Structure 1
Amino acid sequence: MGLLGEVLLLPFAPVRGSAWVIKQVLQEAERIYYDPATVRAELARLEERLEAGEISEEEFDRQEDELLERLETATRASAGTGEWTAR
């Protein structure tokens, strides 16, 4: 894009900047969400809640399945690319 294109698109610079920031925040949120250490910590907290009687066995099984699915997704993504990248 030439100088003329840049000048014409200058009024949209805040929108482009905002879109970039939103993309960066989303990527970081997904990185944290799929981080194996985060998922394992959530699994440990879930087990503590079950042992304390805060949740039922059925609720534990449902949440555990979701967490294990996240862990599997993160493991597959990191094995394929070397690290997790949200796209």
Structure 2
Amino acid sequence: MGLLGEILLLPLAPARGTGWVLRQVVAEAERQYYDPSAIQRELSELAEQLDQGLIDEAEFDRREDELLDRLEAAQQRRAPAQGGGWTPPPR
């Protein structure tokens, strides 16, 4: 189909371009959300808020658990990209 197919699909080009842009935005948002250094920074800020009395212990524990879950998910996402991750030795 080649050239004829491209000509027939030309009216859909803006929609395909929009889809590509949306995929790029989502990929960047996920990269930032699962960035270990950003998560570590948020954990430090959370500890400072607790030390300053801006949040109570229960709020700290809840938000810390969320951040630690995100950090674990980030490490799991990175492991397959770095050669499959850790596998236990055979018994």
TM-score normalized by the length of structure 2: 0.86
Percent of pairs with identical residues: 59
User: Gapped runs of 5+ residues in structure 2?
Assistant: 83-91
What is the rounded CA distance, in whole Å, between the counterparts of 1:74 and 1:55 in structure 2? 26
Q: Is 1:44 aligned with 2:44?
A: yes
CA positional deviation for 1:47: 0.5
User: Gapped runs of 5+ residues in structure 1?
Assistant: 83-87
CA positional deviation for 1:13: 0.5
What is residue 16 of structure 1 aligned with on the other side? 16
What is residue 62 of structure 1 aligned with on the other side? 62
Give 1 or 2 for the bigger CA radius of gyration: 2
What is the rounded CA distance, in whole Å, between the counterparts of 1:48 and 1:4 in structure 2? 62
TM-score normalized by the length of structure 1: 0.89
What is residue 85 of structure 2 aligned with on the other side? none
Query: Once superposed, what is the RMSD of the aligned Cα atoms?
Result: 0.9
Q: Count matched residues.
A: 82
Amino acid at match of 2:44: A
